[in-house]
Structures are given as C-alpha cells and as structure tokens.
Structure 1
Amino acid sequence: MHVIVAGGGIGGLALGAGLRRRGHEVAVFDRDTDVAATGGYHITLDERALSALERLVAPEVVRRLLASGSALRLRDRDVFWDYRGRVLGYGPDLSGSASIDVDRITLRVLLAEAVGEDLRLGKSVTEVGIGGDGRPQVRFADGTSVSADLVVGADGTHSVVARHLAAAPTSRPAGIIGFSGRTRRADLTDAEQRRLGTRSTTGIGPRGAALYVGFLDPVGNAALDVPELSASVTTGPTYIWGAMFPESARTDSLRDLTGTALCTALLDRFRDHRWAAHTLEVIARTDPSSVAAFRFNAASTRADDLAPWTPSRITALGDAVHATPPTAGMGAGAAIQDAADLLDALSGDTTTVTDAIGHYETQLRQRGGEVLTAAMKTVRLILATDTTFGALATTAACPLIAAVTRLRPAPSAPAPARSGAAR
C-alpha cells in the first residue's frame, strides 16, 4: 500500500516508521527543513505510549529512547504549590511507573532516523482531495501534487487534512496562553534547588496565573543506563517550566516579545499577582533564548464529536483530531498510540481499507475523549481562578489547605537507582 503522511511531528514520524518497517510504501512530508528545529522542551511517554512505540519501531530505537529518557520512577513525588510557595499536596507514587520524560528534539530525531529516506522535508501541504484517478491526493505549496492509496493527516492543531474531512476547524483556543523555557538546575540557589527537588511541580494562584516546573535528567535518571546509546540534547539536570495565563489583550501582547524582554514581562505579570519571589527564580534564571509562547488549543472532550466524518481513504491522527493542551502531558503519547492503532488496523483482517479506517477511527475517538477530559480539568481549574469569586476563593483557601498539608507526613522519596542496569 502507498501511504502519504502529511506532517512530520511525533505522530506522523511514528506512523511513517511503522509503515516502513511493515513493508508499506510511505512518504512523510513536513514543512520543516530540519527535524531538530522544534521546541526544545520535554514530553512524557507513559507505558501505553511506550508499548505502542514497540509496535512501530525496531527494538534498538526503543533502547536508544530509553537511554535518552528521564525515568519518572527515579524522581521525587510531584508537589502542588500555591503562589506563595506553600505545599498544597502531593502527586501519586511513581516508584513503579514505567513512564519517561524525553526531549521533544531527541524523540523527533530518533523517529526521523527510523523513517529514513521516506521523510521529505521542506514540503508544506496546502490542499487535500480526490484526484482524477479517484485516489486521495495532496497538493503542496510549491504547486506540485502526489496521489496515494491512503492519506493520513498528522499536521497538528491547524490540520489541512482534518479541516478538509470535517469541513471546519477541529479545535479552538482553550482560553490559555503558555510560555515555556529551560533552566539548568545548577543556576538556581541551593534553597530553590531543595524546594523544587528532583520532581515536577505545579503552582497556582489567583487570576489564572499558574506555573509548571518539570524536572528532566536523562543522564542521572536515565531509564536505561547505557550512556553510549543516549541521544539526549539535555546533558544535565534541567527544569523545563511552563507559565500559564488566561487569554486577554494583555497576555496576547506578551506573544510579540522574545528573549530577555519576554522573561521580564512574565516576571512582572507574576509579581502583579503577588507571587513570592523565590517561586519565580526558575524564570528569572532561565536561558532567555529558550523562552517561547504558544496558545493552548483543544478539541471537544466528547468522543462523539471527534473525527465527525465518514471513513474513507483519507484520515488523520493526533492533534489534527484531538488537539490536547499540555496540562495532562498526554498529547504526544496519544498520537503515538493513534499511529500504532492505525498500523494494526491496516494490517488486520478487515475486508477493505475503508473498513480498517472505520475501526481505527472508533478507537481514535475514544482515546481522544479520554486525554482531552484529563487535560481540560487543569485548564478549567486555572480559568476558574480568573473570576472575582475564584480569585478570592483561591487566596482564602490556599493557606488553609497548606496548613492541613503540613499536619500530614510527607511521602517518602524513591529508593536510589542501581547503576549499570535497566532502570
């Protein structure tokens, strides 16, 4: 079967690698000219996503990924803070988790290598439809076009393919603008290193201001202790942070800033909302060149609303169908699972390709509804604090919750990792 994949993000590359491995003729087209030219942040892959990858790529690729990933089970238990730095609660016990955090650049490069010469860079898809021969066809910005037996849109939130299928956008702004950056742990004061620890934390305050700080250490916390296989772009303990504010004219104006100017503006915004100075150190000491802004987009949380089209030889996956805010850390993993399910459907015993696509899209809707429901819980919580009542309730409730939390024993830290073994 000849398959065209429109989009070379995580999901598109995972599908391309799987199709190639199973002997299909595939071409993955992406507008980027360099696969490493993507956000230098991190994504979480849980056990389901890792299991899906094992169905898509060769074992040696999975080993390189694990050697490049930071194991969640080796870090401290996650913590929830308020805007003054008071502990409000703890996350679940991750000591038995198989999940990893990995640099987005690292994962994309590994998957691109698995796709090999079937990846065509610098080709932007502008239109999709049915050609004169009755086969699916895509047209590119340079005026050329190509046909195939199946076209899969893996072209993200503003998907050309999914818009064609749905005859409308498949997602909309979720009401939050995010700002992300990277800060070396060694650049923080000793006190703040101790407070943040080797874990992910989330801080929340009144008026929709929130700050996520993720811990990434693919060297000291490698999921697989085989340094010679590591392809990680992060070489030391690093905090990947994400600031969040509700969309407004004031927030939108920040998107025009870059570097130091953007960092300064973010710090001023948090200070206006009375955040404690030490909670902002991770932003104040960040690498200004790493800071970027992005809008949260989301599809419907109702599974029945997703992929609202009749199965055909054109379909889509990942954010093209179920655009998911990063607040649950599940978007990339869901796209990988989509790719594995689509590949399995095409390799199954269904009578026609259209039947296989119908089976796949049923799974796609169910998964999309689940990940969106999880992600939107946090989005709605943040937005709820951006009302007069919500701001007052947040300000009043935080010290009370913190006082109760102090009376409870803190969870114990995970046992130290053993070197020289799979972690």
Structure 2
Amino acid sequence: MRVIVVGGGIGGLALGAGLRRRGFEVMVFDRDTDVAATGGYHITLDGRAQSALRDLVAPEIIERLLASASALRLRHRDALWDRRGRLLGHGPDLSGDPSVDIDRITLRTLLAEAVGDDLHLGRAVIGIDRAEDGTLRALFADTAPVPCDLLVGADGTHSLVARHLAGGPTNAPAGIIGFSGRTCLDALSPPEQQRLGPRSGLAIGPRGAALYVGFLDPVGNAVLDAPELRMAITTGPTYIWGAMFPESAATDSLRGLRGCELQAALRAGFRDRGWSEHTLEVIARADPHSVAAFRFNAASTRVSDLAPWPAGPITALGDAVHATPPTAGMGAAAAIRDAASLVEHLREVAAGTTTLTVAVSKFEADMRVRGSEVLTLAMKTVRRILATDTPLGAAATAVATPILAAAGRLGRRR
C-alpha cells in the first residue's frame, strides 16, 4: 500500500514514522524546507500520547524525547491569578501526573528523523485528482503528480485535503487572537521569579484579557537524567507565555507588529484593561525574536460535525479535522493519537483482515470522539475568557477576583 501524507507537522510526521516503522510505503510532503522552521514553543504529551508514540517510533527515539522533556510531576501545582497578580487558587496535585512538556522544535526534529528519507521538504501539495486509470494522485506546482492508494491530510487548520473532502472550511475563528513568547526565568526580577515559581499558571481579567504562563525546564526537571541524549532547545528554566485578547479590528492589527514593538503594544493592551505592571514583566523581558501572533481557530465540538464525509481513500487528521485552540494544551497530543490509530487500522488492511474503506471508517469514528473531547475542554477556557468581554462579565470579574484573592490569602494563613 502506498500512502501519501500531506503536511509535516507533529501529526503528519508521527503518522509517517509509524507507517515507515510498520513497513508501509509512505511519502510525507511538507512545504517547509527545514523541520526547525516552526514556533519555538512547547507541547504537552499526556500518558495516552506517550503510549501512542511508543507504538509509532523506535525506543531510542522515545529515550531521546524523554531526556529532552520536562516532567509535570516535578513542577509546583498550577496557579490561577487575577490581573493584579494575586493568587486565587491552585490546580490539581501533579505529583502523579505522567505528562511531559517538550519543545515543539525538538519533537518535530525527532519525528522527522524517524521518518528519514520518506520526508520530502520543500514540496507543497496543491491539489488532488485521479489519473485516467482511476489512480489517486497528489498534485504539485513544479513536479509530476505522485500516485498513491491512500492520501492523508495532516496539513493543519487551513488544510487543503480536509477542504477537498468537506467542500469547504472545517473550522472557524474562535474569537481570540493569541500572542506567544519565551522568557528566561533569570530575566525576571526576584519578586516575579518568586511569584511565578516553578509552575504554570493562568490569569484572567475583565474585557477578555488573559495571560497564560507555562513553565518549562528540560534540564532541572528532566524526565530522564541522560544529558548525553538531550536535544532540548530550552536549556534552562523558561516561561512560555501566551497573551490572549478578543478578536477585533484593534487586536487584529497587532498581528502585523514584530519584536519589541509588539511587546510594547501587548503591555499597553493589558494596562488599558487594568493589569498591574509587574504581571506584564514576563512579556516585557521576553526574547523579542520569540514573540509572535496567531488566531485561535476551532472546529465544532459536536462529534457528528467532525470529518463529515464518507470514508474512502482520502482522509485527514489532527487540526485538519479537529482544529483546537491551545487553551487545553492537547491539540498536538490528539494528532499523535490520531496517527497511532490510523496506523493500527491500516495494519489490519495489510494483514488482509479488512478493506481500506472499513479501516478508514473505523479510524475516523475514533477520531471524531477524540477530537470532540479535546475541543470541548479547550473551548471551555475560550468561552470563559470571552464571557469577561461583556459588560456584565467585566463587572463580575472585577468584583469577584479581589474577594477570591482575599479568601485565598485567608486560607493560606490557616
């Protein structure tokens, strides 16, 4: 069986690696010319995603991944703050959590290595058709079509493949513009280092402003103590932060800014909404080259709306089907699980126990449930943020957070 994977992001590379490992003839095409040409942020892999990866790649790849990852169980409990930086509460105990965080570039590099020569960079698929004899083909602008038995779209939110299947977009803007950056812990003042601590946290204020601060330390919090295997691009305690504002003409215009100019505009946006200056230090002291903007897109949370096409020799996975805002930290992990599921069902085809159409149908049924699950979690936070952008929501947030902060301080004294 010849399989073409369109897109070399996390899901596409995971699928390509798994198919190659199981003896399938596979080709992964991606428009990027360098696997490191991606956002330098981090990905959370829960136990299910790690289990899927163990099925997809060789043990030595897993070992290098774990040596480059930061263990959630070694972090302090996550925090919830208000716009003044006052602690409102804590997240669950992480001491037994098997999840890990890893740099996106590191994970993509490891998966690309597992795909090997079957990864073709600088090759953008521009269409899909069938030859005169009915053979399915991927089309390119400057080279001959490539035939296949199965074509899989792993080409992200604006997927050409999913649009071909669905007859239109499979997701829509979620109503939030996001901005991300990286800030070394050592760049912060001692008071902010103390407040933020070795943990992740979220602050939500009135008028739809929110700031997520994720803690990543693949050295001090390494999952596997094997420095000789470490590939992490993060070499010390670092905060990977995400600023969020409701989508509007004003916030959309920020997407054209870069570096220090964007940092200044973000801080001004938070100050206009009443945020304390010290809570914005993580933005002010970020590496200017790391700061970037992106729109949150989301598919429907309803199972029946995902992959709304008949099963056949063309399918898709990951954000191409269930585009997920980063507010649950589960999008990439879900794409990896999609890849493992598809490989498992295709092995049944190779064994002669089922047909390709039946295998794809089973895979898509699994994916719809999985996609709905992660989307539901992610959209809860999105809706919570957007709810503060109404007059009633803004007033309720401004009134309630000081009370919650006072209650939290009282509880800590007891």
Coarse TM-score class (shorter-chain normalised): over 0.9
Q: Which residue of 1 aligns with 2:359?
A: 356
Q: Which residue of 1 aligns with 2:124?
A: 124
| Structure 1 residues 240-259: aligned runs within 5 Å | 240-259=240-259
Q: Which residue of 1 aligns with 2:13?
A: 13
Q: Which residue of 2 aligns with 1:103?
A: 103
Which portions of structure 1, spanning 4 or more consecutive aligned residues, are displaced by more than 6 angstroms? none
Deviations 1:36-65 (A, max 9, x none): 010000010000000000010001101100
Deviations 1:16-48 (A, max 9, x none): 000000000100000000000100000100000
Distance 1:403 1:196 in 2: 18
Q: CA deviation at 1:143?
A: 5.1
User: What amino acid does structure 1 have at the position aligned with 2:95?
Assistant: S
**Matching residue within 354, 374, 377 for 2:377:** 374
Q: Which residue of 2 aligns with 1:156?
A: 156
Q: CA deviation at 1:409?
A: 3.8
Cα distance change, pair 254–31 in 1 and its aligned pair in 2 (3 A): same
Q: CA deviation at 1:126?
A: 1.3
Q: Which residue of 1 aligns with 2:80?
A: 80
| Structure 1 residues 21-32: aligned runs within 5 Å | 21-32=21-32
Distance 2:219 2:245 in 1: 32
The reply on whether 1:365 has 2:368 as its aligned counterpart is: yes
Distance 2:234 2:308 in 1: 40
Q: Per the alignment, in what secondary structure is the counterpart of residue 236 of structure 1?
A: coil
Q: Per the alignment, in what secondary structure is the counterpart of residue 63 of structure 1?
A: helix
Identity %: 69
User: What amino acid does structure 2 have at the position aligned with 1:368?
Assistant: G
Distance 2:409 2:277 in 1: 21
Distance 2:238 2:361 in 1: 43
Q: Which residue of 1 aligns with 2:317?
A: 317
User: What amino acid does structure 2 have at the position aligned with 1:204?
Assistant: I
- Which runs of 5 or more residues in structure 2 are unaligned? none
Q: Per the alignment, in what secondary structure is the counterpart of residue 120 of structure 2?
A: strand
Distance 2:295 2:360 in 1: 31
Q: CA deviation at 1:404?
A: 1.8
The reply on whether 1:231 has 2:234 as its aligned counterpart is: no
Q: Per the alignment, in what secondary structure is the counterpart of residue 156 of structure 2?
A: coil
Deviations 1:95-134 (A, max 9, x none): 0011000000000000000000000000111112333222
Distance 2:356 2:114 in 1: 25
Q: Which residue of 2 aligns with 1:48?
A: 48
**Matching residue within 392, 399, 402 for 1:396:** 399
User: What amino acid does structure 1 have at the position aligned with 2:360?
Assistant: I
Deviations 1:227-277 (A, max 9, x none): 111110111111100000000010011001001100000011111011011
User: What amino acid does structure 2 have at the position aligned with 1:388?
Assistant: P
Q: CA deviation at 1:406?
A: 2.0
Distance 1:258 1:106 in 2: 24
Q: Per the alignment, in what secondary structure is the counterpart of residue 199 of structure 2?
A: coil
Deviations 1:115-164 (A, max 9, x none): 00000000111112333222321112325311101000000000000001
User: What amino acid does structure 1 have at the position aligned with 2:136?
Assistant: P
**Matching residue within 356, 378, 386 for 1:383:** 386
Q: CA deviation at 1:410?
A: 8.8
Q: CA deviation at 1:224?
A: 0.6
Q: Which residue of 2 aligns with 1:306?
A: 306
Q: Which moved more, 1:399-408 or 1:169-178?
A: 399-408
Q: Which residue of 2 aligns with 1:197?
A: 197
Distance 1:176 1:80 in 2: 20
| Structure 1 residues 147-226: aligned runs within 5 Å | 147-226=147-226
Q: Per the alignment, in what secondary structure is the counterpart of residue 19 of structure 2?
A: helix
Distance 2:96 2:264 in 1: 40
Distance 2:216 2:336 in 1: 21
Give the number of aligned pairs. 411
Q: Per the alignment, in what secondary structure is the counterpart of residue 85 of structure 2?
A: coil
Deviations 1:382-417 (A, max 9, x none): 000001111101000101111222232499xxxxxx
Q: Which residue of 2 aligns with 1:283?
A: 283
Q: CA deviation at 1:327?
A: 0.1
Distance 2:28 2:246 in 1: 35
Cα distance change, pair 406–355 in 1 and its aligned pair in 2 (3 A): same
Contact kept, 8 Å, 1:128 with 1:160, in 2: the verdict is no
Q: Per the alignment, in what secondary structure is the counterpart of residue 61 of structure 1?
A: helix
User: What amino acid does structure 2 have at the position aligned with 1:117?
Assistant: D
Distance 2:143 2:158 in 1: 20
Q: CA deviation at 1:166?
A: 0.6
User: What amino acid does structure 2 have at the position aligned with 1:356?
Assistant: A
Contact kept, 8 Å, 1:41 with 1:240, in 2: the verdict is yes
User: What amino acid does structure 2 have at the position aligned with 1:16?
Assistant: G
- TM-score, L = length of structure 2: 0.98
User: What amino acid does structure 2 have at the position aligned with 1:160?
Assistant: L
Contact kept, 8 Å, 1:6 with 1:151, in 2: the verdict is yes
Cα distance change, pair 288–350 in 1 and its aligned pair in 2 (3 A): same
Q: CA deviation at 1:351?
A: 2.0
Q: Which residue of 2 aligns with 1:145?
A: 145
- TM-score, L = length of structure 1: 0.96
Distance 1:364 1:279 in 2: 39
